[in-house]
Structure 1
Amino acid sequence: MQLRYLKTFIAVATTLNFTRAAERVHLAQSSVTEQIQALEADLGAMLLDRSNRQLRLTAAGQQLLEYAQALLDLADEARAAVADAAKLPRGRLTIGGLETLCATRLSPLLAHFAQAHPSIELQLKASGSGELRNALRSAAMDVCFAFSTLDEGEELQSEIIGSERLVIIVPPGHRLARATEVGPGDIAKEPFLVTEQGCVYRHMFDTAFSAQRPRIAAEVASLAAIRSLVEAGMGCALLPEVALAGSNSAVHRLTWHGDMQTVPVMMVWRHRRVQPPALKLFLDEARASFATLTPADARRPRAAQSR
């Protein structure tokens, strides 16, 4: 069995879709089909039931899936042990994160790491929390960054490596536009723009306003759209301040002094008995990088204020 075929098989087995599997392993769909057929020929058993429109694992395929990831993990551990003994941090790291973190915190981190370790190939992917979780568990990603935990389980490890300050943004000319900070009482009657249920940014809003929630004017699909609608005067919004980095929007940002003033930044990676040297280096670099970016007052919760 070739290890790359096992990686392709895991992608097919977890997506049950050749097209999505091909995207995950960066191969043409025809190549994915060829590798699965070669694996079936090598093992002498059908791994996938293609008789119906819905692709399904056979009993043999289900049995292989229980071993495939363990075999790949063992191969990774062997490479890591050899590389560690030879003191040669090489390989490829796939790093993921929420779009906001990829565009702000992760870009300079990767640039610095690439310069310090040119022998390590890096790939950065922006996804939602659900996609990040699935990519970690399927070994399509080595480490990711998000604003909340990703249901760790036994196969994942996580660590809070920083925090981001929350702010309220209001339209130009708003009655609070000249203020610098607000508390729950200041915006209790204001309409708010939020993302959809299930989104990490919606969870921030629901948590920050758990006691007294303002009126929701609309659910919006993206932070960029929320910023535009706030600028157009449709309402206010609660966001991590980092989401406004580099934005030319005319919205006014106000420091938020509610019960929840910051959100943690989580670093999550797959648990291994032997950590690959390249990943170990990156985790340490990320810890150092985010430590310098943590808001100065993140460790000093302040009482909510009202005007």
Structure 2
Amino acid sequence: MQIKHLRTFTAVASALNVTRAAERLHLAQSSVTEQIQALEADLGAILFDRSKRRLRLTDAGRRLLDHATDLLSLADEARSAVAELADQPSGSLTVGGLETLCSSLLPPVLTTFCTAHPAVAVRMAAAGSGELRSGVRAGDIDVAFVFGDGPPEDGVERATVARERLSIIAPPGHRLAGRNAVARDDLADEPFLVTVTGCVYRRMFDEAFPVAGVGRPRLAGEFGSIGAIRALVAAGLGCALVPECAAAAATGLTVLPWVGEADHVPVSMLWRRRRVQPPGLRLFLATVRGGIGAIRPDGGHRRCAERTR
């Protein structure tokens, strides 16, 4: 068995789709198919059931997946142990994050890291929280940044690297414009735009405005992205509760600091637990702790717009 074939197999097993696996691996679909066929020929077993529209793992495929994850982890650790001897770390590093964090918090840290370690090829991937977590567990993403603490996950390390203040964004000329801050009572029955249930941004809203709480705003609609919500707020459809760095990207809107029990949200960094971390990842984690530490996880920090300039 070749390591590259096992990596391709785990990518296909995770996506259950050759096209998506090929995009994740930056390979042609034909190459992915050839590698899976070569692995099946090597093992003398069919790994995927191709009889239906969606790929499914066979019993042999499920059994191999359990071992493939361990084998790939050991291969990474072996490579890392040898790389420790190199003067200049190299290799690749995939950094994932929510779109809001990729455009605000991460660029300064990536700039610092890439300047100090130019031989490490860095790739940034923006995705949702669930996709980021599964990517870390599968090894497709080396380190990811999400909002919220979340429950412990097997094989995944977690550290809170910042606390982001929450803000209310409102249409230009809103009745609350000019306020230093707003609280729940100021927003009673105000139309609000939210993301769908289960989204981390929706969780922020639900924690700030409990269903049974007094003064809960009126939901004016559910939308798929913070970018769409910002545009609709600008059009006058309603207000929204967003992290400060998302508010900083909103030009021409009324931005008001939110004051309440849930007025901050943690920013968490996730990475796989390994006996030996790849040098690039180990150095990146150190850079984050040194760079994002300036945001002061104790709650006091500068505006996100100031951090990214």
- Measured in 2, the distance between the counterparts of 1:48 and 1:151 equals 32
- Measured in 1, the distance between the counterparts of 2:80 and 2:114 equals 19
User: Which residue is equivalent to 2:305?
Assistant: none
- Measured in 2, the distance between the counterparts of 1:52 and 1:165 equals 48
Say yes or no: does 1:265 pair with 2:278: no
The 8 Å contact of residues 193 and 216 in structure 1, kept in 2 or not, is answered as yes
User: Which residue is equivalent to 1:223?
Assistant: 226
Shift of 1:52: 3.2
TM-score calculated relative to the size of structure 2:
0.91
Which stretch shifts more, 69-78 or 104-113?
104-113
The secondary structure found in structure 2 opposite 1:182 is: coil
Q: Which amino acid aligns with 2:230?
A: R
Shift of 1:279: 0.5
User: Which residue is equivalent to 1:293?
Assistant: 295
- Measured in 2, the distance between the counterparts of 1:54 and 1:227 equals 36
Unaligned runs of 5+ in 2: 302-309
Question: Could you report, residue by residue, the CA deviation over 1:8-43 in whole angstroms, capped at 9, with x for unpaired residues?
Answer: 001111222211211221111111110011111112
Distance 1:295 1:245, change over 3 A: farther
User: Which residue is equivalent to 1:120?
Assistant: 120
Shift of 1:217: 1.0
User: Which residue is equivalent to 1:302?
Assistant: none
The 8 Å contact of residues 160 and 297 in structure 2, kept in 1 or not, is answered as no
User: Which residue is equivalent to 1:59?
Assistant: 59
Q: Which amino acid aligns with 2:169?
A: I
Question: Could you report, residue by residue, the CA deviation over 1:23-72 in whole angstroms, capped at 9, with x for unpaired residues?
Answer: 22111111111001111111222222223333222222221111101111
TM-score calculated relative to the size of structure 1:
0.92
User: Which residue is equivalent to 1:35?
Assistant: 35
Q: Which amino acid aligns with 1:190?
A: E
Q: State the Cα RMSD in Å.
A: 1.7
The 8 Å contact of residues 161 and 297 in structure 2, kept in 1 or not, is answered as no
Unaligned runs of 5+ in 1: 300-307
Question: Could you report, residue by residue, the CA deviation over 1:202-253 in whole angstroms, capped at 9, with x for unpaired residues?
Answer: 11000111233211111122212212222222211111110033432x2111
Question: Counterparts in 2 of 1:14-163, with a 5 A limit?
Answer: 14-149=14-149, 151-163=151-163
- Measured in 1, the distance between the counterparts of 2:222 and 2:4 equals 42
- Measured in 2, the distance between the counterparts of 1:15 and 1:286 equals 30
The secondary structure found in structure 2 opposite 1:36 is: helix
Distance 1:295 1:67, change over 3 A: closer
- Measured in 2, the distance between the counterparts of 1:152 and 1:291 equals 22
The 8 Å contact of residues 171 and 177 in structure 1, kept in 2 or not, is answered as no
The secondary structure found in structure 2 opposite 1:154 is: coil
Which stretch shifts more, 106-115 or 224-233?
224-233
Residue identity (%): 55
